Amino acid sequence: MNYGVVSQEQLEKMDEILTEKLIKIGVDCVVIIDMAGNIITAKDNDKNKYDIYSFAALAAGNFATVDAMAKLVGEQEFSLLFHKGTDCNIHFSKVDDELLLISMFGKEISLGYLRLNVAETIEAIRKLWA
Amino acid sequence: MSFINLKDKVIQVKIVYYGPGRGGKTTNLEYINRRFRKQIQSEMVSLKTHGDRTLFFDFLPFDMGQIKGFDLKIQLYTVPGQIKYNATRKLVLRGVDGIVFVADTQQQMRGKNIGSLNQLHQNLVGLKESIFRIPLVMQYNKIDLRKQGIPVLPTNILEHDLNSKLKVPSFEASALTGYNVPETLKKIISSTVMSIQRKLS
């Protein structure tokens, strides 16, 4: 698969999926990045504005670090990462070998509910590349 | 690999400053951050140790205007230079589009420059890239030390050591004073953009 260029149609569909499955349930911001730290697409609720370019660089580094740690303890990967804060939480999930989906959300959404929706989102996005 | 967003018409380009420890990679980015503040919308991100050594990377994104109707977003990274951090260097190199090799011109750094360049070659092979294909610019940094009487390697020696096979553009520079820092940056951006255009056409 080549993510170097993603078609306008694919991006529009991806944005629709992210809005429908995640932004509408109350996620503040959702970003899809590649492992090099490039932003593929980003959606937010118009209230919370983050510096998503720096965020993407750090997130790719963070995920790559955890991945390297997984290998050190004999795991193939840790496919899920979650950071809990007082007001904001960050959930990372691998879409495939190249893409990561990152959701930033507040305390009004439970982690379980978010994970369910993230799983559905990833499935829908994978179908776009199929 | 650069990422091209056809919907928002944005091209993201990843340029990595590579080289031996304490060679001036972070200082290059700090100078660019000060000098081109207007084009930089966010803060420079630095992941460093308490002793101010780069631990993971520095990151500086900035806008370079438009090319063929696409917004060009340049993302500058540095790697940690210390020998023990090679695993981290490999992570930062992932998806790289262009490289600036920052060599330290102090005489006692001669071996370290060569070692670092050899390791860059190995690391790129591991990423299925080639040092002979990827856009690369050499920067011979700390040239200002010459004026202070500190022994500095002559440029012809540096060219022989580091650039005799690669034959890439090279600059004498001082990251501290900013001498040739913008020139190095302009050169790597133009080489990288041309390489992306070639790949697309």
Sorted by where each begins, the domain ranges of chain B are: 11-200
Residue range B93-123, pLDDT digits in tens: 999 999 999 999 999 999 999 999 999 999 9
Please judge whether A38 and B3 are an interchain contact, meaning their C-beta atoms are less than 8 angstroms apart. yes
Mention every residue, 6+ apart, whose C-beta is less than 8 A from residue B24. Answer: B102, B104, B141, B142, B175, B176
- Which superfamily, per CATH, for B11-200? P-loop containing nucleotide triphosphate hydrolases (3.40.50.300)
Residue A96 lies in a domain: yes
Q: Give the one of B2, B56, B200 whose C-beta lies nearest to A61's C-beta.
A: B56
Percent of chain B, pLDDT > 90? 74
The two tokens of residue B134 are 């990827």
Residue B43 is predicted with a pLDDT of: 85
Residue A123 lies in a domain: yes
Q: Give the one of A7, A38, A40 whose C-beta lies nearest to B95's C-beta.
A: A38
Pair A121, A101: CB distance under 8 Å: yes
What is d(CA B100, CA B81) in angstroms, rounded to the nearest whole number? Answer: 13
Nearest CA in chain B to A11: B7
Pair A17, B15: CB distance under 8 Å: no
Residue A29 pLDDT greater than 50, yes or no: yes
Closest CA to B152 of B173, B138, B167, B166: B173
Residue A1 is predicted with a pLDDT of: 34
Band (pLDDT 50/70/90 cuts) for residue A4 is low
Instruction: Provide φ and ψ at B132, rounded to 5°.
Output: -85, -15
Residue range B58-87, pLDDT digits in tens: 999 989 888 888 899 999 999 999 888 898
Mean pLDDT, residues A86-102:
92
The average confidence (pLDDT) of chain B is 93
| Helix ranges, B82-141 (H) | 86-93, 110-126
Q: What is the ipTM of this complex?
A: 0.73
Residue A107 lies in a domain: yes
Distance from B54 to chain A by nearest Cα, in Å? 14
Number of domains forming the structure of chain A? 1
